[in-house]
């Protein structure tokens, strides 16, 4: 992405170029450092700007999206900067900070359904059909995959030391956009790159057909997302991590490494270590720390 001149910059130009570093020998991309606190800042900006370019979104329009939190927060930030109205449709039971963050960005928040995002999705789709409204539909959108293939993936490749090519990548499945898009990108460089995903053990929807309550907010929203239904063949292996393991690892990342992140980041690291145990020959495993921990303070740290 080419940065605009300083006088024309907004916070949206601070999205991306997050640090890549090694934790316990695994490459981790600090996506929680994006404005609005998550990896989702990228698709929010990308999808909105694509919709503007295609004439689907015009000044004064309303953006409506179903989200368990991070995409809602990120779209609310983008809408604030660009002057759109924003309505986030959220399932009940998400951490209170998530609602507060969207509201702080001037968005309206509507709660529909319980814990999983299904009912909220139906509501957002229905509202999005009204004239002057646009629903990005992150779980379905090819723009989500495209962003990860053309922006996040190449950014990681550029940041790795010269001569290092990832031989495995692991991501959680919320929409599946990250792991599918980044997986496609890495495979263009090395067709043998292993692409793996992590699900909560209590709700391993793709691995074992189960939908259950779990603590790993942001992944396993209660259904197989359209993106995964279309592109799931990109993923070679699935790992199931228990909520408690993910939370314990989240705590360790903060207390031992100074990384204040959410439970999904813990799940990513636990699963990446398992991947390494199963495939010791794979030396350059890449994974993501997806959201920041401040929004989990009341749940886990107070």
Residues designated catalytic: 40, 264
User: Which one of 51, 66, 173, 194 is in contact with ligand PMP (CB under 6 A)?
Assistant: 173
Contact between 253 and 180 (Cβ < 8 Å): no
Residue window 24-53: x/- pattern of binding to ligand PMP, with contact defined by CB under 6 A: --------------x-x-------------
**Cα–Cα nearest to 193, from 157, 155, 159:** 157
Q: Is 183 in the site for ligand PMP (CB under 6 A)?
A: no
Q: Kindly report the number of other CB atoms within 10 A of residue 221's CB atom.
A: 25
Report, in Å, the least distance between residue 188 CB and ligand PMP.
19
Closer by beta carbon to ligand PMP, 61 or else 198: 198
User: Which one of 262, 269, 284, 287 is in contact with ligand PMP (CB under 6 A)?
Assistant: 262
Q: Is 200 in the site for ligand PMP (CB under 6 A)?
A: no
Q: Is 90 in the site for ligand PMP (CB under 6 A)?
A: no
Q: Is residue 26 classed as helix, strand or coil in its secondary structure? A: strand
- How many residues are listed for the chain in this entry? 302
Contacts of 175 (CB under 8 A, 6+ apart): 138, 139, 144, 225, 227, 228
Helix runs in the chain, H state only: 40-53, 70-82, 96-104, 118-128, 142-147, 153-159, 177-189, 205-208, 226-231, 243-257, 263-278
Closer by beta carbon to ligand PMP, 61 or else 138: 138
Strands 26-29, 20-23: pairing kind: antiparallel
Q: What b/e readout covers 226-251, taking b as 16+ CB neighbours within 10 angstroms? A: bbbeebbebbebbbbbbbebbbebbe
Q: Is 153 in the site for ligand PMP (CB under 6 A)?
A: no
Closer by beta carbon to ligand PMP, 61 or else 238: 238
Paired strand residues for 114: 92
Q: Is 218 in the site for ligand PMP (CB under 6 A)?
A: yes
Report, in Å, the least distance between residue 60 CB and ligand PMP.
28
Report, in Å, the least distance between residue 179 CB and ligand PMP.
6
Return d(Cα 265, Cα 290) in angstroms, integer. Answer: 6
Stretch that binds ligand PMP, among 7-15, 49-57, 80-88, 170-178 (CB under 6 A): 170-178
Stretch that binds ligand PMP, among 104-112, 127-135, 174-182, 270-278 (CB under 6 A): 174-182
| Cα distances (angstroms) measured from residue 46 to each of 174, 182, 210, 218, 225 | 17, 15, 32, 19, 19
Size of the site for ligand PMP (CB under 6 A): 16
User: Which one of 147, 155, 202, 291 is in contact with ligand PMP (CB under 6 A)?
Assistant: 291
Q: Is residue 125 classed as helix, strand or coil in its secondary structure? A: helix
User: Which one of 36, 137, 178, 284 is in contact with ligand PMP (CB under 6 A)?
Assistant: 178
User: Which one of 91, 136, 174, 183 is in contact with ligand PMP (CB under 6 A)?
Assistant: 174
Return d(Cα 24, Cα 13) in angstroms, integer. Answer: 31
Q: Is 290 in the site for ligand PMP (CB under 6 A)?
A: yes
User: Which one of 37, 176, 183, 293 is in contact with ligand PMP (CB under 6 A)?
Assistant: 176
Binding site for ligand PMP (CB under 6 A): 38, 40, 70, 172-178, 218-219, 262, 264, 290-291
């Amino acid at each position: 992405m080419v940065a605009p001149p300083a006088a024309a910059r907004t916070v949206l130009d601070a999205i991306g170029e997050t640090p890549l570093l090694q934790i316990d020998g695994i490459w981790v991309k600090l996506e929680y450092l994006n404005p609005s606190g998550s990896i989702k800042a990228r698709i929010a900006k990308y999808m909105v700007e694509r919709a503007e370019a295609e004439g689907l979104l015009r000044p004064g329009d309303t953006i409506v999206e179903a989200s368990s939190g991070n995409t809602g927060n990120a779209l609310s930030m983008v809408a604030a900067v660009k002057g759109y109205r924003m309505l986030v449709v959220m399932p009940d039971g998400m951490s209170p900070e998530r609602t507060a963050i969207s509201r702080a960005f001037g968005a309206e928040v509507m709660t529909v359904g319980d814990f999983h995002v299904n009912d909220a999705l139906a509501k957002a789709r229905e509202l999005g059909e009204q004239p002057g409204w646009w629903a990005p539909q992150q779980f379905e959108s090819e723009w989500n995959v495209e962003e990860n293939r053309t922006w996040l993936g190449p950014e990681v490749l550029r940041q790795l030391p010269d001569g290092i090519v990832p031989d495995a990548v692991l991501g959680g499945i919320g929409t599946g956009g990250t792991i599918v898009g980044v997986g496609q990108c890495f495979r263009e460089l090395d067709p043998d790159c292993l692409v793996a995903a992590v699900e909560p053990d209590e709700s391993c929807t793709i691995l074992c057909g189960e939908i259950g309550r779990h603590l790993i907010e942001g992944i396993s929203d209660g259904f197989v997302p359209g993106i995964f239904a279309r592109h799931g063949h990109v993923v070679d292996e699935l790992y199931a991590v228990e909520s408690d393991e993910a939370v314990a690892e989240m705590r360790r990342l903060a207390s031992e490494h100074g990384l204040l992140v959410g439970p999904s980041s813990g799940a990513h690291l636990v699963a990446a270590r398992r991947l390494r145990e199963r495939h010791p020959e794979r030396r350059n495993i890449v994974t993501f720390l997806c959201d920041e921990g401040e929004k989990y303070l009341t749940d886990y740290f107070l």
